[in-house]
Amino acid sequence: MATREIISTGNELAAIAAVDAGCLFFGGYPLTPSSEVMHEISDLLPKIGGVAIQMEDEIGGICAVIGAAMAGQRSLTATSGPGMSLKAENLGLAQMAEVPLVCINVMRGGPSTGLPTRVSQGDILQSKNPSHGDYKSITLCAGSLAECYTETVRAFNLADRFMQPVIVLLDETIGHMHGKADIPTAEDVKAGIVPRKRFDGAPEDYFPYECEHDQPAVLNPMFEGYRYHFTGLHHDRKGFPTEEIETCRKLIQRLEDKVELHKDELESYEEFMMDDADIMIIAYGSVSLAAKESIRHLRKEGIKAGLFRPITIWPSPAEKIKEHTDKIEKVLVVELNIGQYHSEIQRAAARLDIAGLFKVNGRPISPYEIVNKVKEL
């Protein structure tokens, strides 16, 4: 695949990626440290016939995006932790109605207003279940400037494939980091766009929610002659509310299975110097950059450390994690929260002796801190 060099920030690269991936609508509200996503895409979309709207708040932003997505447009919103909290109810609506959209969350310190200008990875568990109820969330996490672009592109394709919201996690450090990124050409990205499925039969034969047990709904764009009901209630094959026992059971099970039974299409991770590692460091996002630097220092001192970095955070690459942790005795999870992904590693590894290095004061974790923690092990 051909590449190009861009000098930019992570937030701006995410906006550029959305446009290259076919996004034609942005609805949102400025919120530190995600605001540059909106600033950039507000300049880009009008030039290609798209629309960017600053709504009155984060709730209005996600509602507008759902509406645009129902009309058939690839649509984006961007925010940070407090905005994700406000969007939660309507993210649940999009899960139930199976509306594809992408939500970029540039993480900052929390809870509540927290540390607006400081780095955190405190939204990991929130991204697993941003709204109440049973469903399977899809969450990706960028670990470099280039991935701020490539994971946003992938998110749009996954949203249309699985017909649901896809969350892309950045954090303040990587969102505001400025540097060179080697990214695919816009032409290659456009050639790789995976459009959502459509029903092409007679309107009277169209039942959008009548599909296989492990497949998403087929929602034709509104205003094109295919009528169906749109609701957050449990619904039948036409979308109308129902309390019929078996219909309700099958619906919720399908929301789970359409993701759970196709995890092979979602799984993505990086292994750095893991071939001969005696110590396994698990980190994601900007923290993985510090982890790589620490591994280089440790290797020079004869300590064989390696990095496993999940890129798809949810569903987690649990089988691959267990494969490594079954062979490696010493495992260290490093993250900018109080252990939110650490608990998932313990579950996946079926071990309770997983070490952790956590920080929650808004400051990044340095390679020096990771080196010292590994030496303690």
Give the model's pLDDT for residue 194: 87
Residue 88 lies in a domain: yes
120 CB-near residues (< 8 Å, 6+ apart): 81, 107, 108, 109, 110, 114, 171, 172, 336, 337, 360, 362
**Together in a domain, 38 and 135:** yes
- Asked, for residue 204, whether it belongs to a domain, the answer is no
Looking at 144, 160, 191, the residue that finishes a domain is 191
What's the pLDDT at 180?
97
State which of 127, 159, 191 marks the end of a domain: 191
Find where tokens 């568990």 sit: 125
pLDDT along the chain (377 residues), means of 10: 93 98 98 98 98 98 98 98 98 98 97 96 97 97 98 98 98 98 97 94 96 97 93 97 98 98 97 98 98 98 98 98 97 98 98 97 98 97
3-class state of residue 83 by DSSP:
helix
Q: Which residue has the tokens 């169906």?
A: 228
**CB-neighbour burial class of residue 276 (10 A; exposed 0-12, middle 13-18, buried 19+):** exposed
Q: Tell me: do 178 and 274 sit in the same domain.
A: no
Same domain, 184 and 322: no
Asked whether 319 and 347 are in contact (CB, 8 A), the reply is: no
What is the reported pLDDT for 140?
98
Burial 85-111 (b: 16+ CB within 10 A, else e): bbbbebbbbbbbbbbbbbbbbbbbbbe
Question: How far apart, in whole angstroms, are the C-alpha atoms of residue 154 and residue 142?
Answer: 11
Q: What is the pLDDT of residue 2?
A: 85
279 and 143 assigned to the same domain:
no
The confidence score (pLDDT) of residue 77 equals 98
Residue 234: burial class (beta carbons within 10 Å; 0-12, 13-18, 19+): middle
Q: Please indicate, yes or no, if residue 327 is contained in any of the structural domains.
A: yes
Closest of 300, 369, 293, 301 to residue 334, by C-alpha: 369
Do residue 154 and residue 64 come from a single domain? Answer: yes
> Of 261, 254, 257, 298, whose CA–CA distance to 276 is shortest?
298
Residues 144, 7: one domain? yes
Non-local CB neighbours of 325 within 8 Å, separated by 6+ positions: 280, 331, 345, 348, 349, 351, 354
Q: The CATH number of the domain where 311 resides is what?
A: 3.40.50.920
Q: Are residues 166 and 37 in the same domain?
A: yes
Give the residue among 311, 374, 323, 318 at the shortest CA–CA distance from 148: 311
Asked if 339 contacts 302 with a C-beta cutoff of 8 angstroms, the reply is no
Q: How many domains does the chain have?
A: 2
- Please tell me whether residues 173 and 27 are part of one structural domain: yes
Domain shared by 167 and 286, yes or no: no
Judge whether 103 lies within some domain. yes
Which CATH number do you get for residue 158? 3.40.50.970
Range of the domain at 67: 3-191
Tell me if 241 is assigned to some domain. no
Q: Do residues 142 and 279 share a domain?
A: no
Given 122, 156, 191, the domain boundary residue is 191
Return d(Cα 26, Cα 44) in angstroms, integer: 11
Same domain, residue pair 183 and 275: no
Q: Name which of 21, 34, 134, 45 is nearest 78 in CA terms.
A: 34
Confirm whether 135 is domain-assigned. yes
Residue 228 lies in a domain: no
pTM beyond 0.85, yes or no: yes
Q: Has residue 60 been placed in a domain?
A: yes
